[in-house]
Amino acid sequence: MDRKQQVLLKLKPKVKAFGFNKKEVMGIAARIADNLTSTDDASDEDVNAEIEAAIDAVLPYLQVSQSFANRVIEENRKKNDDDETDDGDDTSSNTSNNRQTGFKQK
């Protein structure tokens, strides 16, 4: 099994609750695997320890990115809810649409 697959197997359960899609998790795993420094002849124990350490190092950043994404989504959701509320209450702003042709208002 190559390093990317090893990282992916260890990373998946740790980021499952974050809501990242498969492509994003695979990209994160590839990035981590590319930055591993152990040699090909290193023991499995050493490689696993390095992978765990690398994953533990990126987890806080993944949590922050999830928080940021959630905040942006909520802000947009609130903005859209406010826009919908404004659209429904604004009946008097465009009175020209309610006027009949040839009718003169005093």
The whole-angstrom separation of Cα 99 and Cα 94 is: 10
pTM: 0.68
Residue 103: the pLDDT is 47
Based on DSSP, count helices (H) and strands (E) in the chain, helices before strands. Answer: 3, 0
Which of these, 50, 49, 26, 25, lies nearest to 36 by C-alpha position?
50
Contact 42, 89 (CB under 8 A): no
Lowest mean pLDDT, pick from 39-43, 68-72, 79-83, 85-89: 85-89
- Residue-wise pLDDT for 54-70, tens only, equals 999 999 999 999 999 89
The whole-angstrom separation of Cα 102 and Cα 10 is: 75
Q: And the tokens for 59? A: 């987890």
Residue 38: the pLDDT is 86
Name the phi and psi angles at 57, rounded to 5.
Answer: -70, -35
